[in-house]
């Protein structure tokens, strides 16, 4: 005959099993919200209605994405789309430009904009974009909208935002569409690569502290990839090397200083946690072709126009899961998948420092 204690324990186990099964069915995310700041590597439609050719709302972009072309500069999902899935979000994080209702903002927003950078002038020779300073202003407005949903209770609003995950990946265009475009910008004549990296990181530090002021406490700072290995860069000449070494060397100054900034932020802002994601070491020529299947790393998959983007409606390559690059600049979904999974799960601090994205999401601060 069962004792009362046995019955109680049995009921507790049943309740626990039901709770876990319901959580799995409903796909409860590991953080309540995910906010994304970035450039074309993360843009999911914010540039669609801007006056710029830097937009990707036409085929063959999105050919492998369930909703087709949305403004993502790749054939399928972006790095942050995949991170959102790993976090447990059932749907992609919506873009800021088309999200109007405050109740649709509470799970997060994507502010990323193609051609945008840390510096306000970056990429403007191509037309309009939403630089990081403007993205931060957009997020400030979002915070107010979320407060309205929560009944203007400042403490509960702050507590909610503190639990969210924030991804910031900026800086590539400050090189590709600024420093290495001397026809349009004077930065390369004013600063050597190390001086320029120092300048960028000082500005970045102020911008990240602004994000902290708006409630961010779990922040992944995504480093710059091997821009010198992009098909566009290779097409400009490599002097016998596999990639354009001066470009890769320049962004490595930035990455080294960004990793140091993470240490400074973690030391000075003790109620928050910042991590560095080393995409340089996880992508491009550094990717293990035998395990990733990315056999083609120097040729684009889609036919391109004069600015290096896919020609509208042109047929892309068939073996796109083997290609590192979609157009002359942007990675394929498969390349994004490799990098995102590694950034989320890696136990190697040379990939993510001082912890991976999955661990950051679980932290209780």
Q: b/e map of 44-57 (b: 16 or more CB within 10 Å)?
A: bbbbbebebebbbe
Q: What is the pLDDT of residue 26?
A: 44
Ramachandran area for residue 152 (φ above 0: left; ψ -120 to 50: alpha; else beta) = left
Rg, Å, the chain Cα set: 21
Q: What is the pLDDT of residue 283?
A: 77
Dihedral (CA of 145, 94, 205, 200) sign: negative
Bridge partners, residue 220, by sequence:
167, 275
Q: Both tokens of residue 21? A: 């099964």
Helices (H), 36-96: 79-87
The rounded distance, in Å, linking the Cα atoms of 147 and 157 is 6
Which of 348, 346, 180, 206 is closest to 265 using CA atoms?
206
Q: What is the pLDDT of residue 71?
A: 98
The answer for residues whose C-beta is within 8 angstroms of residue 209's C-beta and 6 or more apart is 265, 269
The rounded distance, in Å, linking the Cα atoms of 119 and 65 is 31
Q: What is the pLDDT of residue 151?
A: 75
The catalytic position among 29, 39, 40, 283 is 40
Q: Which residue has the tokens 């569409």?
A: 177
The catalytic position among 172, 330, 346, 351 is 330
Q: b/e map of 312-327 (b: 16 or more CB within 10 Å)?
A: eeeebbeebbbbbbbb
Q: Is 188 exposed, middle or buried (0-12, 13-18, 19+ CB in 10 A)?
A: middle
Active site residue 40: yes
The catalytic position among 43, 327, 346, 351 is 327
Average pLDDT per block of 10 residues along the chain, 365 residues long: 43 35 55 98 98 98 98 98 98 97 95 98 98 98 91 78 98 98 98 98 98 98 97 96 97 98 98 98 67 90 98 98 97 97 97 98 94
The answer for residues whose C-beta is within 8 angstroms of residue 191's C-beta and 6 or more apart is 199
């Amino acid at each position: 005959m069962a004792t009362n204690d046995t019955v109680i324990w049995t009921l507790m186990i049943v309740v626990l099993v039901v709770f876990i099964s319901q959580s799995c069915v409903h796909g409860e995310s590991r953080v309540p919200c995910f906010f994304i700041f970035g450039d074309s590597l993360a843009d999911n439609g914010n540039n669609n209605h801007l006056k710029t050719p830097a937009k990707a709302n036409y085929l063959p972009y999105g050919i492998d994405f369930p909703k087709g072309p949305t403004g993502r500069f790749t054939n399928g999902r972006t790095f942050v789309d995949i991170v959102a899935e790993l976090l447990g979000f059932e749907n992609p994080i919506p873009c800021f430009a088309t999200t109007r209702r405050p109740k649709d903002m509470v799970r997060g927003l994507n502010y990323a904009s193609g051609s945008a950078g840390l510096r306000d002038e970056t990429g403007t020779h191509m037309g309009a974009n939403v630089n990081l300073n403007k993205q931060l202003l957009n997020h400030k407005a979002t915070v107010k909208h979320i407060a309205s949903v929560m009944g203007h209770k400042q403490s509960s609003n702050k507590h909610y935002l503190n639990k969210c995950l924030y991804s910031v990946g900026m800086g590539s265009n400050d090189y590709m569409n600024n420093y290495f475009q001397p026809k349009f910008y004077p930065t390369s004549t004013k600063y050597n690569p190390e001086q320029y990296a120092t300048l960028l990181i000082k500005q970045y530090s102020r911008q990240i502290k602004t994000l902290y002021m708006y409630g961010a406490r779990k922040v992944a700072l995504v480093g710059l990839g091997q821009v010198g290995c992009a098909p566009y860069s290779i097409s400009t000449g490599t002097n016998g090397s596999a990639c354009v070494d001066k470009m890769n060397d320049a962004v490595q100054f930035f990455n080294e200083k960004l990793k140091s900034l993470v240490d400074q932020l973690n030391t000075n802002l003790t109620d928050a946690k910042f991590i560095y994601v080393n995409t340089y070491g996880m992508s491009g020529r550094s990717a293990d072709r035998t395990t990733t299947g990315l056999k083609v790393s120097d040729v684009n998959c889609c036919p391109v126009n004069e600015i290096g983007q896919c020609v509208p409606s042109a047929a892309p390559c068939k073996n796109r899961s083997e290609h590192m690059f979609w157009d002359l600049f942007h990675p394929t979904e498969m390349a994004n998948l490799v990098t995102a999974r590694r950034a989320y799960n890696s136990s190697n601090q040379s990939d993510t420092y001082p912890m991976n994205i999955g661990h950051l999401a679980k932290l209780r601060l």
